[in-house]
């Protein structure tokens, strides 16, 4: 029997969830719900599914085995807890929640109920990201020295004005870091390993009527001893593809959105020929650099496929709640350092 999915929150990202679920083997999109019934009716009409009157009705439906949550970031916890109590598996759009304390409550609720929990970070599932991870794990970089992440995007003032929750600490959880750059922060720490300490500065420079930062810079020391930088902004017109650079004593690799732009190692392997040939083909979407909807759903599909497999085989999702919490902890530390002017150590 396929895993029946319900979508909670029918804003922009819900369509990416719906398309992804429809492409996943062993998954079936059943229905959706939103605090605004018109949003749910609209999504239901597009995909030929049920629009539930409220969350309670959805969670009472035995054909729903799992839910995806795409509500505003600071409103992920309550539906997660409700779904867990109803014995439904949960996959949450990034971030898992807007503070580590709220992440911990979500994790605890799902563990207590014995249901699977995952946080959506599709960048980990792209072939280019996997290649970089393999190269790191095989020691091809030698002594890793630098790991840098750059997210220089652009959002208009109208973007922030379009929703009362945008640009607020309570529901957005932060600005350029927590909303836009968190995918790249997650990818950097997945590749480089744990962050040991952070120094940072943040500012709101080009937008009005928001509580959060539109520009941030942080320097990192990883547990390995390597150093790094995170730069994030929504004030870099016209917006550029996100970028990760890894450097070591024996190699360098640069990832721009989903494309490997640099793949240089002191010791070449036969497999590198295929990777270098693939690098000549540009595959990236706009990556959300200027338009939040200019992303693909293929990464979501790969991750939801992994989630379905974890449910079917009683395994652990690749990006479970504990993994999803890591990027939130790093961003929380950046905010703390920027506020206090001090170096923040991470446990």
Convert 262-283 into a string of H (helix), E (strand) and C (coil). Answer: EEEECCCCCHHHHHHHHHCCCC
- CATH assignment at residue 233: 3.30.360.10
What is d(CA 165, CA 132) in angstroms, rounded to the nearest whole number? 36
Region 235-264: mean pLDDT is 96
pTM comes to 0.95
pLDDT band at 95 (very low <50, low <70, confident <90, very high): very high
Q: Are residues 196 and 62 in the same domain?
A: no
Q: What is the pLDDT of residue 287?
A: 66
List the alpha helices (DSSP H) in the chain.
12-23, 37-47, 55-59, 77-85, 100-113, 127-137, 157-161, 182-192, 271-279, 298-313, 321-340
Q: What is the pLDDT of residue 163?
A: 87
| CA dihedral angle for residue 49, residue 51, residue 54, residue 59, rounded to 10 degrees | -10
Q: Are residues 19 and 111 in the same domain?
A: yes
What is d(CA 52, CA 223) in angstroms, rounded to the nearest whole number? 47
Contacts of 56 (CB under 8 A, 6+ apart): none
Q: What is the pLDDT of residue 281?
A: 75
Q: Are residues 10 and 117 in the same domain?
A: yes
Region 165-173: mean pLDDT is 94
pLDDT band at 131 (very low <50, low <70, confident <90, very high): very high
Q: Are residues 73 and 184 in the same domain?
A: no
pLDDT band at 296 (very low <50, low <70, confident <90, very high): confident
Q: What is the pLDDT of residue 10?
A: 97
- Note whether 240 and 152 are within 8 A (CB): yes
Q: Give the pLDDT confidence of 40-91 residue by residue, as tens digits.
A: 999 999 999 999 999 999 999 999 999 999 999 999 999 999 999 999 999 9
- Among 105-114, 136-145, 270-279, the range scoring the smallest mean pLDDT is 270-279
pLDDT band at 285 (very low <50, low <70, confident <90, very high): low
Q: Are residues 191 and 142 in the same domain?
A: yes
Q: What is the pLDDT of residue 154?
A: 97
Region 121-149: mean pLDDT is 97
Q: What is the pLDDT of residue 278?
A: 85
Q: What is the pLDDT of residue 250?
A: 98
- CATH assignment at residue 34: 3.40.50.720
Q: Are residues 267 and 182 in the same domain?
A: yes
Q: What is the pLDDT of residue 279?
A: 82
Q: Are residues 55 and 135 in the same domain?
A: no
Q: Are residues 38 and 157 in the same domain?
A: no
Q: Are residues 87 and 180 in the same domain?
A: no
Structural domains counted in the chain: 2
Q: Are residues 303 and 335 in the same domain?
A: no
- The residue range of the domain holding 313 is 3-122+297-319
Inform me whether the pLDDT recorded for 246 exceeds 70: yes
Q: Are residues 239 and 142 in the same domain?
A: yes
pLDDT band at 329 (very low <50, low <70, confident <90, very high): very high
Q: Are residues 158 and 245 in the same domain?
A: yes
């Amino acid at each position: 029997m396929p895993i029946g999915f319900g979508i909670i929150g029918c804003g922009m990202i819900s369509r990416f969830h719906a398309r992804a679920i429809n492409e996943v083997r062993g998954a079936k999109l059943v229905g959706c719900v939103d605090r605004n019934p018109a949003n749910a009716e609209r999504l239901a009409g597009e995909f030929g599914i049920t629009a539930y009157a409220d969350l309670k009705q959805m969670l009472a439906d035995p054909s729903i085995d799992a839910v995806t949550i795409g509500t505003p970031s600071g409103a992920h916890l309550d539906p997660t807890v409700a779904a867990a109590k109803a014995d439904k598996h949960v996959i949450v759009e990034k971030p898992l929640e807007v503070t580590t304390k709220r992440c911990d409550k979500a994790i605890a609720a799902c563990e207590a109920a014995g249901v699977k929990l995952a946080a959506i970070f599709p960048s980990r599932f792209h072939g280019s990201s996997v290649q970089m991870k393999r190269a790191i794990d095989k020691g091809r970089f030698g002594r890793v020295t630098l790991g840098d992440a750059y997210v220089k995007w652009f959002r208009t003032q109208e973007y922030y004005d379009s929703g009362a929750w945008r640009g607020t600490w309570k529901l957005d959880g932060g600005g350029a870091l927590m909303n836009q750059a968190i995918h790249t922060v997650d990818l950097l720490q997945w590749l480089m390993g744990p962050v040991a300490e952070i120094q940072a500065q943040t500012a709101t420079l080009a937008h009005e009527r928001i509580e959060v930062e539109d520009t941030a810079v942080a320097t990192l020391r990883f547990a390995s001893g390597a150093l790094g930088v995170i730069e994030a902004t929504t004030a870099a017109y016209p917006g550029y593809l996100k970028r990760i650079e890894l450097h070591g004593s024996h190699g360098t690799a640069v990832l721009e959105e989903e494309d490997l732009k640099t793949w240089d190692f002191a010791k070449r392997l036969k497999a590198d020929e295929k990777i270098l040939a693939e690098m000549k083909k540009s595959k990236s979407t706009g990556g959300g650099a200027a338009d939040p909807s200019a992303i693909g759903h293929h990464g979501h599909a790969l991750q939801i496929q992994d989630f379905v497999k974890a449910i079917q085989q009683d395994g652990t999702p690749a990006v479970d709640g504990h993994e999803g919490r890591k990027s939130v902890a790093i961003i929380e530390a950046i905010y703390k350092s920027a506020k206090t002017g001090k170096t923040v150590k991470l446990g």
